[in-house]
Structure formats: structure tokens, C-alpha cells
Amino acid sequence: MPVSNRIKYGAIVEQIVCEKPHIVCLCGSTKYSHAFRVAAQEETLKLYCVFSIGVNLRENPEILSGKTEHEKMLQKNELVRVHYHKILLADEVLILNIHGIIGEDTQNEIDFAISVGKPVRYLVPLGAVTPSRYLQTSLQDEIAAWASVHLPHEADSLVKLQEELDELALSPADPNEIGDLIIGLMHHASKHGINALAAAADKFEIVKTRQYKMQPDGTCRHC
């Protein structure tokens, strides 16, 4: 290594040793992975050292594929343990309470942080609106915005949904009909304040625990 580079590197190392950065650990629901990415960037630009989620099982379910339920539980518990160590090492915990929501797992992280004396900061103060930069515009959001303009007087989204389902039954392999049905489902979910993909992900976790048997009519039903 050239002398000039060694001097420059030595100065950087000396600065690193002498100046420990503020460490912040991000906590919240992995449903909002976009919020984690935005928060990590913003906290890093403050020159903070950021601990975040290293693995998102919602987005990467293949990580648990092929494992028994016991193995899945052990894997999840180990990942939780690692994240709690991040809280322990951090100087501060930032709660990404998108829409002001704090689930059970996040509350457990808050309780642990407080029990070990870590300051807890909240992204969204009580009663405040979540900054839009933390919210990822999704297909469902676009559908809801379109429907508010083009279907403002629609009485019942289920009627339209049934129409789309009937059309799909006539052309089960038509991608356009499949697309129409998905659009209808997302529109219906939006009218009831439900994130369709998050609801599907949560329901799928339940489905995976069930046993299914073939019925005389050719369908599969859970026991």
C-alpha cells in the first residue's frame, strides 16, 4: 500500500476508534419493509450506525421451505434472539409504528428495550399521520385511487367481484380475467381498509398449519 494511502487509512482508523457513532436499532412490523429501508437511509445520513432486520420471512418464505414446523419455530426464535441482541447493543430504539400501529411482537421489543434502559423513539407520535415517504405506493393503492374517480357511486363491490368470478369460470386460463378478479379483490379490500396482500400473507401462515383431504366432489378441504 502506498505511504499516502497508509497515512489516510491510519487517520480513518484513529477517528473510528476515538469517535463511537450513535447506534440506533429499528423495530416494527416486517409488513412495512419499505419503511425499514427509508428509516435506515435517513438514520445513516444522520451519521448513526443502524441495526435493522437482516431477514424478512414475509418477503423470503423460501428460507423456511423444506423445514419441519419445529425447525421453523427454532429458526424464527433464533432470529428474534439476534434482533434482541441488536437492541441490547444499541444506544436507542426507533419504533416504526406505521399508521400508529404497534403489534404484539413490536410491543415485546419495546418492553425489552425499556427493561434494559434503552431510550425508545417513535416514528409516528400519538395521533399523528405517517410521513408519506415511509409508505410504499402499491398496486392496491393505485386501484383504490382509480376506483374513487371512476367508480365513485358503486354501491357494492361484491356484486362486481361476483361478476368477475363468473367470467373467470367461463375462461379459467385467461390472464385478463384473472387480472380482473385480483383488481376486484383489491378494490373490495381497500373499501374496508384492508391491505389485501398482508391479509393473504397472514392467512397463508394459518393455511400452512392445516391438513387437507380430497373430497368426493374433487375439491380439497382442511380437516
Which mean pLDDT values do the consecutive 10-residue runs of the chain (223 residues) have? Answer: 60 70 95 88 96 88 89 94 98 92 92 97 82 70 79 74 92 92 88 79 83 83 79
pTM above 0.85, yes or no: no
Q: Where in the chain is the domain with CATH 3.40.50.450?
A: 21-134
**Residue 160 has what pLDDT?**
83
CA distance 35 to 27: 10
Amino acid at 66: G
Long-range CB pairs of 179-187, under 8 A, 24+ apart, other chains included? 183/143, 184/157, 184/160, 185/161, 186/139, 186/140, 186/143, 186/144, 187/143, 187/144, 187/147, 187/151, 187/157, 187/160
Quick one: fold of 21-134? Answer: Rossmann fold (3.40.50)
> What cell numbers appear for 119 in the block?
431510550
Q: What is the DSSP letter of 28?
A: E
